[in-house]
Structure 1
Amino acid sequence: MSEHLMLTIAAITLIGGACQWLAWRLRLPAIVFLLLTGIVIGPVTGWFDPDALLGPLLFPFVSLSVAVILFEGSLTLKFSEIRGIETVVRRFVTSGTLVTWSVTTIAARLIADLSWELATLFGAFMVVTGPTVIVPMLRTVRPTANIANILRWEGIIIDPIGALLAVLVFEFVVSAGAGDALGATVLAFISVIAVGTASGLAAGYALGEALRRDWLPTYLYNTITLAAVFCSFSVSNAFIEESGLLAVTVMGIYLGNRRGVPIDEILSFKESLSLLLITVLFILLAARLDLDHLQQMGWIVVGVFLAIQFIARPLEVLYCTWGSSLTWQERSLLAWIAPRGIVAAAVSALFAIKLEQRNFEQAELLVPLTFVVIIGTVVLQSLTSGWIARRLGVSEPAAAGFLILGANPLGRAMAKALEQQKVRVLLCDTLWDNVSRARMAGLKAYYGNPLSAHAENYLDLSGLGHLLAVTPDAHMNALACSRFKDMFGVKNVYSLRVGSSTGTSRRDTRREGRTAFSDEITYVDLSRRIYRGAEVRKTNLSETFSMAQFHAVHGERATPLFAVDPKGRIEVFAAETELEPAANWSIIALIDADSNSAKADGNGTSRAQAPATSATGDATT
């Protein structure tokens, strides 16, 4: 028996990993493959029965998994971001949720014939979207920046807000369903909020103090944080049942907004554990679906899905964008894209179990109804949003921007030069000092590991189509090229060699991306020249000043980095290709400082007279 149990658990994790890999390869939300897999191995074939496998551990496992997911989501919810975002986004995550909630509640009541209590709870489930489904879809659809920013921030912020709404509605439904008087119901409702809030604040304060005052070694951050989440959830539930989810949500919001707490270190614990929990949880919950209930509801579930897709979302978008500068095409695409994700699935399954334990009629219908909406929105919108965006004229053209891995002085100099060509550039670095200097220079920069799950949701790649890895870590450069070559295309991924001792074979180089600039040029060499005063400058070519003359003028003191064709397109000099810039092209090169004093530029004039642009370090001269 124990051997069978271990084999089943191992098989589920392996199948889940395969689903995640397939989603990565096809650039689709993993939720589609996880849910379909769970349905196939569960109710369709009967191979996997979560209740038989976990028995009494099923409910605690689902509860703790949801607690971890909600904590991670609330940890990223910062008040400063809510205050600073556009009015449209602020409406989407506040009053706009009431529109979706109300319409969905009415649809569930009138179409699915759920009681008003369960219809109201189902409506609360449906207000969330989530970055785990939005971000992969945006990368495929590639809408304009306005649409991408609205959808991305809506998905990030609405997760903890929607989960908190579902928790509070559930508590009200349970209290009212117990047959208590109104006063007792309100008292129970207030008790849950008070205990959950107090427990979350206490746990957040204690953990925050431990992290701020360095009472914990770095290697224990993840372990202690996870233990604190479990304790806050369990202790709060011990005082007042069902207040645990509110506690971990409040705990995450508190830590995410407290100064001095190393949030990035805390978030790292989510990189493997949270992804594993989401993977297993989706398969487990999908395997518990009762197809008989779906057949019993028949086309009713389709009617609820259509009401959410074609009535609730368009009305919400109409309200949230009222008076904004968005075009009707942008509003139309916003009205089409709103896939539901992990929070809707996990919270609906959790509350359905609790309601069934309390003998609520129709509670067993919540999960299949929710999963039909999830699968319907994800599949329909993933397959059609790209075509709709192109038809409406709100999809971005071929992405020409650059993601520069390495916000060091070399990366900042190249970023400044590219921005002067009206090219979107995003710097990325794991060192805060580099990111801080880049931002002070007016450059956009992401602080964190571009390979992390956090970057998967928060690294804004809209408008970017090239990767240029220029860090002093050859291993990081290679991993980044491997990560982004499927997204940008292998021809648009470049890596600068670090030093002469880190050279790779041509075969390895092709696998890891193209060799930036040339085989002889290294990060160490260029960084030293930047330190000595070299500048990144633009030189215009003409009929009288060719590329050969450029080399004759500057010699070895100049290293061509980019070529700009007459249409403004940027080409990167690489070891694998030979660029042949002609007249009316421009060359962006790193030129040593001592070569500028006596040399002439492409128009035969001195540097002081030349219309050349320089961008060294953080300054523009």
Structure 2
Amino acid sequence: MPDNLDTGLVIALIVAIGIAAQWFSWWVKQPAILVLLLAGLLAGPVLGLFDPDALFGDLLFPAVSLGVAVILFEGSLTLKFREIRGHGQVVTRLVTVGALVSMLLIALAAWALGIFSWKVALLFGALASVTGPTVIVPILRTVRPTRSLANILRWEGILIDPLGALAAVVIFQLVALGTRQVEDLLLAVEIFGAGIGLGMAAAFGLSFIMRRHVLPDYLHNVTTLAVVLLTFSLANALAHESGLLAVTVMGVILANTKDVNTDDILDFKESLTVLLTSVLFIVLAARVPASAFEMNWTITGALLGFIIFVARPVAVMISTIGSDLPWPERIVLSWIAPRGIVAAAVSALFAIELERAGVEGADILVPVTFAVIVVTVFVQGLTARPFARLMKVADPEARGVLILGGNPLAQAVALSLKKLDIDVILSDTSWDQIRKARMAGLRTYFGTVVSDDADRRLDLVGIGELLALSHRAPLNALACMRYAGEFGSGNVFNIRLADQAESATTPAGRVLFKDDVTLERLEGLIVKEGFEIRHTKLTEEFGFQQMLDSQSEDSVLLYGVSNEGVVYPFAEDRTFRATAGWRIAYLGHPDHSTREDTEKSAAERARAHLCEELPKPLPD
């Protein structure tokens, strides 16, 4: 780093580069961790633009430690025990037996190849076995595998993230610190006692305060952050390296405590985690010494090959014994296992500690771990889609619809699509609206569709369109911009609100319906005048023009569904040709019916009429 550069300017540049890397990752639909690590390696050992140790000095280790503590707490806050039980035997085995098998195999290979001592090899095995939603979700959205396979991969990533972090912390304390003497064993007991005890105390104390409403809502997030940092630091002060265990235990307990709403905390921690990961990974990657690139890449390549082609497949095959998962899905499941944030952040933190303790092999723990991350994310990200298509476990086309909003119009549209066997997800931040939708049998997502939580938990497999129907114009616009890259700019639709119609403001995305149709008007027709969404099936005798001629003046065309099951919302700039077999949805008054009944074709009505005219048989 040039001496004449201001330290504040360098830190600001690191933050700017990190956020730019996050944006670029979103744009190219690749996990952000890959771009962040490459940016750090380029700025540090490759070009020598800055030296983190010289820049931060003695503050480097405390800053990294606190940042990792927040990341692990946020990950553990998503671990709910009911989710482990609720997603099948395969997922449960993958995050328990499968993770253990993978860890032991990787550790054995790293030790046998002479890369690490057996203690560091076991720690590396725990780190290299963890995937994570931040790297799995972007790949799933590109691959679009079958629903069963997508659910297994997604929930494995969500659950193994905090479990893997906890396992790595435990192994670090038990193995890396050593248990050869009675004093060391007592030290391990002290570490576990302090970590678990303080984590439980902090979780129960914070949940008690939140349940009793002692704090105002706007202080929940910052108070939680303060408690996390204080718990981590206090645990480390009582027992060396017990802080990570303490914050992980704290997050798991809070996530599974009844009557404690962690959604707002998660939203805040997600934004903070994005900032922390953006800075941490650049800084940590920049710390990798240039000499690390001189390690034996033949042996390292052999280890990477073993991890990808042996350890993961063996773990998957053992985890799927006795299950009804088809073999093609098992094979693809064996291939997709990119490593993520936990492996990078925790390995870098532990490496600093191990280097201070003079443990052999600590200097190459980070480079080898980063190599695993880069290779698995890059190789599997590029090959997962063609491999899944080769194995015939990838959906050919995403035809489902994501609806933003839980108001009466949004729910009516969602139910009408569901009646036509269209896959629908309805999202809203109002629990009452989500509850109504669930009671109506709709798939729902409770939260904001533009959040990091949605990136992890919102199952978009089979979903290819967005209908932004909420009353919040900024959220509608943001969702359209967010999912234009996901679904394509031609498949995101936004409804005009009353204030936008009056100000002639053009909403983001493709504008739904006619220029005088607003969300408020459609809601008024449904709630106040009892309008309903009806479906008309077009035939050769009763085509689209005949259906239009039969419509009343106050009815509104909503969407058409083609013979292939593709949804075509009526928009200002959209034209399409609806032919026989299409179904047209419109909002109409219950007392008005078109010449074509919503459930019967013209031919069916003619047959029914003919049957009424025929004489009935005489009784015997």
Measured against the shorter chain, the TM-score band is: over 0.9
Offset of residue 569 of structure 1: 2.6
Contact kept, 8 Å, 1:474 with 1:502, in 2: the verdict is no
SS at match of 1:542: coil
2:312 is matched with which residue? 313
Offset of residue 505 of structure 1: 5.4
Offset of residue 150 of structure 1: 0.8
Check 1:567–1:460 CA distance in 2 against 1; reply closer, same or farther (3 A cut).
closer
Contact kept, 8 Å, 2:551 with 2:594, in 1: the verdict is no
Deviation readout 1:309-361 (Å, 9 max, x if unpaired):
11100101111111222222111111111111111011111111111111112
1:125 is matched with which residue? 127
SS at match of 1:98: helix
The amino acid across from 1:68 in the alignment is: V
2:519 corresponds to 1:526:
no
Check 1:460–1:9 CA distance in 2 against 1; reply closer, same or farther (3 A cut).
same
Q: CA–CA distance in 2 between the matches of 1:319 and 1:348?
A: 27
Check 1:570–1:597 CA distance in 2 against 1; reply closer, same or farther (3 A cut).
closer
The amino acid across from 1:88 in the alignment is: V
1:497 is matched with which residue? 496
1:614 is matched with which residue? none
1:213-362 aligned within 5 A: 213-362=212-361
SS at match of 1:426: strand
Offset of residue 206 of structure 1: 1.3
Check 1:363–1:584 CA distance in 2 against 1; reply closer, same or farther (3 A cut).
closer
Deviation readout 1:253-285 (Å, 9 max, x if unpaired):
111111111211111211321101001111111
Offset of residue 200 of structure 1: 0.6
Q: CA–CA distance in 2 between the matches of 1:585 and 1:151?
A: 36
2:546 is matched with which residue? 549
The amino acid across from 1:566 in the alignment is: N
Q: CA–CA distance in 2 between the matches of 1:519 and 1:566?
A: 28
The amino acid across from 1:252 in the alignment is: G
2:541 corresponds to 1:583:
no
- Aligned equivalent of 1:78, options 69, 77, 80: 80
- Aligned equivalent of 1:516, options 496, 512, 517: 512
Contact kept, 8 Å, 1:118 with 1:363, in 2: the verdict is yes
The amino acid across from 2:352 in the alignment is: I
Structure 2 alignment gaps of length 5 or more? 610-620
1:419 is matched with which residue? 418
SS at match of 1:556: coil
- TM-score, length-scaled by structure 2: 0.93
Q: CA–CA distance in 2 between the matches of 1:412 and 1:340?
A: 39
- Aligned equivalent of 2:60, options 43, 52, 58: 58
Check 1:124–1:599 CA distance in 2 against 1; reply closer, same or farther (3 A cut).
closer
The amino acid across from 2:88 in the alignment is: E
Offset of residue 104 of structure 1: 0.4
1:448 is matched with which residue? 447
Q: CA–CA distance in 2 between the matches of 1:106 and 1:479?
A: 48
1:55-204 aligned within 5 A: 55-176=57-178, 179-181=180-182, 184-204=183-203
Q: CA–CA distance in 1 between the matches of 2:437 and 2:37?
A: 42
Deviation readout 1:565-621 (Å, 9 max, x if unpaired):
233332111111234423332211111123259996675699xx89xxxxxxxxxxx
Contact kept, 8 Å, 1:130 with 1:155, in 2: the verdict is yes
1:197-212 aligned within 5 A: 197-212=196-211
Contact kept, 8 Å, 1:427 with 1:443, in 2: the verdict is yes
SS at match of 1:595: coil
Offset of residue 476 of structure 1: 1.5
SS at match of 2:536: strand
Check 1:149–1:380 CA distance in 2 against 1; reply closer, same or farther (3 A cut).
same
Q: CA–CA distance in 2 between the matches of 1:597 and 1:337?
A: 52
Q: Percent identity?
A: 47
2:560 corresponds to 1:563:
yes
Check 1:270–1:502 CA distance in 2 against 1; reply closer, same or farther (3 A cut).
farther
2:614 is matched with which residue? none
Offset of residue 142 of structure 1: 1.5
The amino acid across from 1:524 in the alignment is: E
Check 1:598–1:384 CA distance in 2 against 1; reply closer, same or farther (3 A cut).
closer
Q: CA–CA distance in 2 between the matches of 1:293 and 1:593?
A: 73
Contact kept, 8 Å, 2:120 with 2:176, in 1: the verdict is no
Q: CA–CA distance in 1 between the matches of 2:272 and 2:205?
A: 23
Q: CA–CA distance in 2 between the matches of 1:60 and 1:197?
A: 21
Contact kept, 8 Å, 2:550 with 2:595, in 1: the verdict is no
Q: CA–CA distance in 1 between the matches of 2:531 and 2:420?
A: 20
The amino acid across from 2:74 in the alignment is: E
1:618 is matched with which residue? none
2:570 is matched with which residue? 573
Q: CA–CA distance in 2 between the matches of 1:554 and 1:362?
A: 77
SS at match of 1:299: helix
Deviation readout 1:128-154 (Å, 9 max, x if unpaired):
101111111111121111121111111
Q: CA–CA distance in 2 between the matches of 1:533 and 1:18?
A: 49
Contact kept, 8 Å, 1:66 with 1:347, in 2: the verdict is yes
Q: CA–CA distance in 1 between the matches of 2:297 and 2:199?
A: 42
1:450-469 aligned within 5 A: 450-469=449-468
Q: CA–CA distance in 2 between the matches of 1:561 and 1:273?
A: 40
Structure 1 alignment gaps of length 5 or more? 611-621
The amino acid across from 1:277 in the alignment is: L
Q: CA–CA distance in 1 between the matches of 2:149 and 2:503?
A: 41
- TM-score, length-scaled by structure 1: 0.93
The amino acid across from 1:551 in the alignment is: L
The amino acid across from 1:268 in the alignment is: D
SS at match of 2:591: helix
Check 1:554–1:597 CA distance in 2 against 1; reply closer, same or farther (3 A cut).
closer
> What do you get for the CA RMSD once the two structures are aligned?
2.1
Deviation readout 1:499-525 (Å, 9 max, x if unpaired):
26545758x44xx21111222211111
Check 1:54–1:107 CA distance in 2 against 1; reply closer, same or farther (3 A cut).
same
1:26-37 aligned within 5 A: 26-37=28-39
Paired residues in the alignment total 603
Check 1:501–1:6 CA distance in 2 against 1; reply closer, same or farther (3 A cut).
closer
Offset of residue 411 of structure 1: 1.2
Q: CA–CA distance in 1 between the matches of 2:533 and 2:204?
A: 48
